[in-house]
A and B are shown apart, each in its own frame.
Chain A
């Protein structure tokens, strides 16, 4: 019995130690370092910064494309926009650009389009294959004229989560960001179609990002703005995305 008690105590001490380390600031720095190592290895082993995610034949498309996270935007403004087919939806292009813009869906559909059948991997572990259509983000950024100080693109979204205790609920907006390599990547598109149909509300209507070399939470839905910035430090919680800010998910979601 004593030996068993010793093993239980040792196990509990080990887990308590892991929790302590996991919560420490230095371990956070180690994780950031590891994240950069992974990203560096992905780029180095791929022989460059632009490697392509696999694309599939249409026959590989999943029968149901699972919608996760927010499945709609719970505001009157969004419901009104949906009712009018998003005719007045605008995508703002702002920040470190020479020509800020407010793009309508017509503007976006008039741009050169890319259609790609890709696999969406959720951080939870499941995968779904879908066909996405939209202009490349690089087309929009080139038209806007990105200034040389630009390092990141921030994706602003209409959706949000209510967080905090019941007596102090606050609205926290969804957002995401990526570096310039992923922003200018050929497969990074602003999608307005899924499987040849208008993008469904549950999947982010009318516009969502596709960042094919990263996990699902980077693919911001209900897109309202593209903001070009030099640093992510002063954007919302400073970690570069909603899940990064509220739950400590990795900013580089290519792992």
Chain B
């Protein structure tokens, strides 16, 4: 359908603006979150928990260079978290709506049945190990689709909803959500786990961008870039 004179962009405007707002928000939320974690360094399952015996994890104290602000201040860290939770949440909502409307979600993120074939996944893993990131017609290969869908459809919504459960004012509005996650302390534990899974994605994402040619990748995420082989994109 790329018959117009204007060349198709590799990344839609809404995707690009969200990508950068999201990147800044997640870095600030992660680092202020580590400061908040220092406020009580134990995690529990269920609704309540304080005693060390109740904890499933003793969390290490995160040093100042990992936190915002770079000294221990629960009040200041919560300020950052409270502001950027709104930026992150509403930017994500706007991205999800536009990704559904402009077809990005179905066209690029959802995998086709044939892509789930083990042979396809195996080939893709082998190509990645050979550091070959050229991949046929579609925008993303199956490993990318799994990673992006895992972040967009699982981890980011999980961060939002477990964060809402931890707000007592929000919990009073939607108390069923606390039960959905198995209690407030369970939601807190899941929030922590999902944050570190997102960090894992962040590291992998940066490494792959560096391997795939960082200048072109970053340029395209700013300008939009050109869609490679527009004519056979849907081959």
Contacts and interface: CB of A to CB of B under 8 A. Distances in A.
Find the residue from B37, B64, B80 having the highest chain A CB count within 10 A: B80
Contacts of B233: none
A211 B49 CA distance: 20
Contacts of A129: 47-48
The secondary-structure label for the interface of chain B is helix
B215 to A, nearest CB: 15
Contacts of A124: 39-40, 74
A34 B51 CA distance: 33
The interface size bin for chain A is 35 or more
Interface string A236-255: 00000001000111101111
Contacts, number: 140
Interface stretch (A48-56, A89-97, A200-208): A48-56
B167 A46 contact: no
Interface in A22-77: 22, 27, 30-31, 34-35, 37-39, 41-43, 45-47, 51-54, 56, 60, 62, 64, 66
B50 to A, nearest CB: 4
A31 B172 contact: no
A5 to B, nearest CB: 15
A128 B171 contact: no
A64 B172 contact: no
B172 A41 contact: no
B185 A22 contact: no
Interface stretch (A11-19, A99-107, A133-141): A11-19
Interface stretch (A142-150, A155-163, A212-220): A212-220
Contact of A34 (B40, B49, B82, B178): B82
A198 to B, nearest CB: 22
A248 B169 contact: no
Contacts of B171: 53-54, 213
Contacts of A18: 28, 68-70, 80
B74 A123 contact: yes
Interface string B58-87: 000000110011100111101110110110
A119 interface: yes
B178 A54 contact: yes
A87 to B, nearest CB: 33
A125 B40 contact: yes
Contact of B172 (A12, A42, A60): A42
17 contacts: A15-B64, A34-B83, A38-B86, A38-B167, A42-B172, A51-B173, A53-B172, A54-B175, A121-B168, A123-B74, A126-B49, A129-B47, A215-B168, A247-B73, A249-B74, A254-B167, A254-B172
Interface of B: 28, 36-37, 39-40, 42, 44, 47-51, 64-65, 68-70, 73-76, 78-80, 82-83, 85-86, 166-175, 178, 184-185, 188
Interface of A: 11-12, 15, 18-19, 22, 27, 30-31, 34-35, 37-39, 41-43, 45-47, 51-54, 56, 60, 62, 64, 66, 119, 121-129, 212-215, 243, 247-250, 252-255
Given A38-B170, A42-B173, A255-B78, 15 more contacts: A18-B70, A22-B69, A53-B168, A54-B171, A54-B172, A66-B50, A121-B166, A123-B74, A125-B188, A126-B49, A128-B48, A213-B168, A214-B169, A248-B76, A255-B82
